[in-house]
Amino acid sequence: MKTRISNLQLTLLTANFITASTLLVMPQAYLDLSLQNTWFVPFLWFLLTTLLITTAFVGWNKIETLDFQSDETRSSRTGQKLLAILMILFLMFILIRDLRAFTDFTGTALLELTPQPVIIFTSLICLLYLVWLGFEVIARFNDIYFSLLFIIILFLPLLLLNEIDMAKLLPPLQINAVPSILQTTFVGLAWVGELVIIFLFVGNVQPKSDVRRSVIWGVGLAVIFIFILLGSIISVLGSTLARYTVYPSYILVRQINITDFLDRLDLLVVSFWIPAIFSKMALTFYGIHRSFNMLFGTDTKIFLVPLALIIGFLSMMMFGNNISHFYFSIYVWSTLGLLLEILIVAVFMWIVRKERLAQSRDG
Amino acid sequence: MITSIISWIILIMTYAMGKKLFKEKRHARIWFVVFSIISMVLSVLYAFDKNLVMVTSRIESIFAPIARMVIQ
């Protein structure tokens, strides 16, 4: 049976894909570059990403269907296989990086005595279970946890009201801060642009005509999410302290203390945040699985177990330590990720164009 | 020790999936075997404390200079 998701689910998947692991790894790098002006950067990401999405979906409404899972798609097989290869490369890097980021975070902040391979392979078992159940289950899982996390983040400034010091946001947006804001925009653009994964699933969205709007709404939600979190980090911790903190988002939620007895609300936030990260990793893993099926022309789940093991070993073996992972996330991914995203958008546009021509030729 | 156990888990899973495997198309079976061999090779390398930092460094040497040029 063909899997179907709604436009709202697509919006939430997009928003979660942008925010979940970005906020785990990147705030320190953003704050190190733009200091107290970092809160402004998400709006620039929104503009650039909207431009990217609008360009990618040119001619989208003129085609009847584009489902990479079925044989109804009339566009060239070469285009689909090229997209599959690029997606495999792109998503493998994302999953290996995110799994390592999650392991490092868990090992540093939550389970200090648990060995790294144990965290990685138990996480992979959870991911395998989610991916095995299919795309609709991942979407529903994401609906629950991202919605709850988003509500908590909306109330975060209220929960931190007694810790907020607006003076830490000063001086805002001086003219000499423009280069640093643009640098941060560049560093984070590849992370926000990871939403190109949705090109694999656009055929599963009903109704098809609202896909572009849903994705832009997803980016909007993600931007609000990142803006609130970065703004809170700056106004509570201060950019000078946060730029030298490994996980400023986690340190921020630990600052929540309502009266003297409600001071461990960080556990509540983390208990929604970790499933949101799992949701992102599951979607990435499912994307890899679907790309392999697209490439080999199969519809099977038998690749999942060996793929999970390959990803687990690579995430342990590719990075010598936390610092090399951090270096990869900032310096390498900002260029490599952006390059792969541009290529994916170009190939997707080519497929849409071919499909449109094929459909108009067929009448 | 852990990696040895993991390697054995791979072998058991490969065997356990055998029944389902024979119902798949031929090229799906071939790719399943290829992926299993890759994961086993990686597990053995990990068991002997080998890593792939050289590969990551090579990727870094290509892409990191561009980002560093923008940031500095």
Find the DSSP H helices in B1-72: 2-16, 18-21, 26-47, 53-71
pLDDT for the residue A252: 87
pLDDT, averaged in runs of 10, over chain A (363 residues): 84 92 84 86 92 87 72 67 92 93 88 87 90 91 92 88 83 83 90 90 83 92 92 89 86 80 75 91 93 84 86 88 87 91 92 83 71
pLDDT for the residue A168: 82
Chain A partners within 8 Å of B6 (Cβ): 117, 121, 309
Nearest CA in chain A to B29: A302
Whether chain B has a CB inside 8 Å of the CB on A307: the answer is yes
| Beta bridge mates, A262 | A258
pLDDT for the residue B3: 63
pLDDT for the residue B17: 65
pLDDT for the residue A74: 55
Q: Is A203 strand, coil or helix?
A: helix
Q: Do A309 and B10 touch (CB under 8 A)?
A: yes
Min Cα–Cα distance to chain B from A21, Å:
20
Q: What are phi and psi of A205, to 5 degrees?
A: -95, 135
The first and second tokens of residue A37, run together, are: 């002006």
Q: Nearest-CA neighbor of A49 among A178, A175, A172, A192?
A: A192
Residues of chain B with pLDDT under 50: none
Cα–Cα dist A297/B25, whole Å: 10
Nearest CA in chain B to A184: B71
Chain B partners within 8 Å of A292 (Cβ): 31
User: Using DSSP, how many helices (H) and how many strands (E) does chain A show?
Assistant: 16, 0
CATH topology of domain A5-362: Amino acid/polyamine transporter I (1.20.1740)
**Residues of chain B with a CB closer than 8 angstroms to some CB in chain A:** 2-3, 6, 10, 13-14, 17, 20-21, 24-25, 27-28, 31-32, 35-36, 38-39, 42-43, 45-46, 50-53, 55-56, 59-60, 63-64, 66-68, 70-71
Q: Do A302 and B21 touch (CB under 8 A)?
A: yes
Domain definitions of chain A by residue range: 5-362
Nearest CA in chain A to B47: A313
How close are the terminal C-alpha atoms of chain A, in Å?
28
pLDDT for the residue A118: 87
Chain B contact probe: residue of A189, A191, A331 with most B CBs at under 10 A:
A331
Cα–Cα dist A72/A251, whole Å: 50
List, as ranges, residues 159-188 from A with C-beta within 8 Å of B. Answer: 183, 186-187
CA atoms within 13 A on the CB side of A287: 31
CA atoms within 13 A on the CB side of A125: 9
The residue type at A178: V
Q: What is the ipTM of this complex?
A: 0.86
Q: What are phi and psi of A347, to 5 degrees?
A: -65, -40
Cα–Cα dist A40/A359, whole Å: 44
Check if the beta carbon of residue A127 is closer than 8 Å to that of residue A141.
no
Q: Nearest-CA neighbor of A55 among A193, A186, A201?
A: A193
The first and second tokens of residue A220, run together, are: 């909007």
The DSSP output letter for A207 is S
Q: Nearest-CA neighbor of A250 among A122, A108, A361?
A: A108
- Say which of B3, B24, B59 has its CB closest to residue A300: B24
